[in-house]
Amino acid sequence: MKIKSQKIHLDIVIFITLLMALAIRISTYHLDFIKAKDWLDNHEGYVNRMIYSIKITEITQYDDFYLIGFRHIDDGPIKGFGGSAIINSKLLENLPLKNKCLLRGTKLKLVGEYSKTAFYANPGVINPETSLWANRQIGDFRIVDILGYDLPPPFVIALGDGQKTSNLYLNNQIDSIYSKTYSGVIKAMVLGDKSNLSESLKENFKKHGLLHLLAISGLHVSILYMFLHKLLLLFIPKPKKVYWMTMGLLLIYNFLIGYHISCMRATFMLLILNFSIHYNKPYHNLRNLFLILVSNLLIRPWDLLNVGFLLSYGAVASLYLIFPRLKEITREIISNRLILTVVELGLVTFSVNLGTLPILLNYFHGFSWISVFSNFLLVPLFMYQYIIGICGLILSCLSLPLGSFVGGGSMAVFKVYTIYFSMMGSDYYTYLGKLSFWEVLVYYLLLYLVLTFLVTRCQARRAKNYDCG
């Protein structure tokens, strides 16, 4: 008993220590953001050109320009901040770059100018300051001239080239075996590239509460893990070895797609879960989720206001906190096993919707009230569609006709979505507007009180029946 008490005290100390460290890290970043914004107030304007040193963090090449993501590396108040900018290919003509090609990780010395960001009506932004805060951005940056460059180390170039080549190869394979419309869907689901999705398709998925299927999430990673694990077990009947091989493949997958937040979160959750299973270690859902969340924010505090971060962790927390309580209440009401199974499948989506509703309202100003039904009906189909699509992509590396034949099954399943959308229509998205901080607080408090009350009633009823029996 004494040992157990000491362990609880130690857990509390660790919890408080991590929260304090997190608060200090976020506060420090916020102060840096304020200093950078103050700097911009004194240096903005297209007549105020200066020399800057930046590092390219993301890069997309087009016919006559580059779209880059960058961070400032100058010492000063804007170090670590950045944003996106366009580099005209003509600016590279006088530089001795190999093939006149820029790489991720390249450092540039350039002349640039800042202006305050112009914000337009955008349902994906809570407010302008939040958007800038979450993107480590202080304003709009325009590159006027490039004075010099410094390429990253050879091993970094090799990694970047490997990632770029692999990504390009997979893109070409997808284009070769799938139709133009469906190739955009597979690229979004597998590579996280949503640039080829049509607006009408995204709108249909959004209005039916299925938009999460078009973005890499924990659902995708879990399906991919199960598929790879089962596949490897067919050839290597050693669970521990297969576990490490599967996790290694998932880490490579994270590298190829550029370390998406939800993908990394799901990968580390699976890593911890399966480690505890294979090596008989204790596993606690909420504790592990909290540790991964804190680790993420200690490294990247600006993710705190990122919609992908909030929805990813919010959905999993809802499954851990809300779903078990709803399931307990439902089992007290429904006795038929078949009906209970069907209802519990719907409760999975309903739990996530309850837990993430304030996030959806603040970022997208509304929600789909048909989401529970749509997910209940189509997510099981999605699992088959996704697995067959992955199989088609893998087989295409051996034989394009074979990959195209198998991938055709994935496209056939996807047609069910279009039939469903046309049959159901699209008037299922309700716009309610944003919530204030106090409204969010009251919402979660009421949710907690209602669930606690209902669970307590169920437990009291069960105890009464037990006493009578």
Give the per-residue pLDDT at 437: 82
Residue 447 pLDDT level (bands cut at 50, 70, 90): very high
∠ CA 51-301-318, nearest 5°, is: 145
Contact 152, 103 (CB under 8 A): yes
Contact 209, 367 (CB under 8 A): yes
Cβ-based burial of 326 (10 A; exposed 0-12, middle 13-18, buried ≥19): buried
Give the per-residue pLDDT at 44: 58
Mean pLDDT, the chain, rounded, equals 82
- The four Cα atoms 347, 348, 350, 355 give a dihedral, to 10 degrees, of 130
Q: Is the pLDDT of residue 74 over 90?
A: no
Handedness of CA 235, 236, 237, 240 (dihedral sign): negative
**From 47-56, 120-129, 154-163, 378-387, the region with the lowest mean pLDDT:** 120-129
Residue given tokens 């597998």 in the structure block: 190
Residue 32 pLDDT level (bands cut at 50, 70, 90): very high
Q: Look at the pTM and tell me if it is higher than 0.85.
A: no
414 alpha carbon, distance to own chain's centre: 22
Summarised one tens digit per residue, pLDDT across range 306-334 is 888 888 888 889 989 999 999 988 888 88
Handedness of CA 330, 331, 337, 342 (dihedral sign): positive
Q: Is the pLDDT of residue 467 over 70?
A: no
Q: Is the pLDDT of residue 122 over 60?
A: no
Contact 41, 100 (CB under 8 A): no
Q: Which residues of 347-377 are buried (b: 16+ CB within 10 A; e: fewer)?
A: bbbbbbbbbbbbbbbbbbbebbebbbbbbbb
Residue 121 pLDDT level (bands cut at 50, 70, 90): very low
CA atoms within 13 A on the CB side of 349: 24
Higher pLDDT, 97 or 297: 297
Give the per-residue pLDDT at 48: 64
Give the per-residue pLDDT at 155: 73
Higher pLDDT, 434 or 56: 56
Give the per-residue pLDDT at 123: 46
403 alpha carbon, distance to own chain's centre: 28
Summarised one tens digit per residue, pLDDT across range 156-205 is 767 777 777 777 788 888 888 888 878 888 888 888 888 788 888 888 88
